[in-house]
Amino acid sequence: MGEERREYVRINDRILLRYRPITGEELERCLRDYEEGLADPWPLAFSHPQLTRAADQVLRRLREKNKELAQLFSILNKKLDLILARIEKEEIEKNFRFYTVNISAAGLCLSLPETFSPGQLLELEIGLLPAMHFFRCYGEIVREECDGDENRLGIKFVWMTEEDRERLIEHIFERQVMALRLKRQRQDNP
């Protein structure tokens, strides 16, 4: 078998996932809605990167003018995050499932009970742990292998925001660093 070259690093990971099959027409409509500002590609409100960036920018400017007010704003922002997290937790528990995957910024591989055909498009809502960063992306099934009761699927990401791709790459890098540190600790302390 020929040597396969990969564009991105892959890791084994555990993620939260919600998915549904879609048609090419649905994908085009969703992308058009994102481009026209009629919809957001972030499935959960507190995952919206523009809101986080805007709050951080305001906090930075405020800190230069009034440190006490900036500190109060920071505390209130954290309280709001906790409230939103509690509200969103109910949605997460109801609508998302844990999956063990092999993932990169180019795609993922996982086992599902349903059968799909290569070429099938999927809307994927992914939650990276433990940061609870949620994003919506779209993938195409490029490979399916039957493994007993489950079907092992290879899914290539066909659309994702650049911000989410960068966050996914950061997540993978962080997981690799953590794995290397744990491996080194085990070697140093047998």
Residue 24 sits in a domain whose CATH number is 2.40.10.220
Which H/E stretch holds residue 88? helix 67-95
The answer to whether residue 162 is domain-embedded is yes
Q: How many domains does the chain have?
A: 1
Per-residue pLDDT, averaged over 84-102, amounts to 83
The answer to whether residue 109 is domain-embedded is yes
Domain that holds residue 118: 10-44+98-185
* pLDDT the model gives residue 45: 52
| Whether 105 contacts 172, CB under 8 Å | yes
Q: Is the whole model's pTM more than 0.85, yes or no?
A: no
The answer to whether residue 167 is domain-embedded is yes
Q: Residue 18 — very low, low, confident or very high, per pLDDT cuts 50/70/90? A: very high
* pLDDT the model gives residue 53: 66
The answer to whether residue 21 is domain-embedded is yes
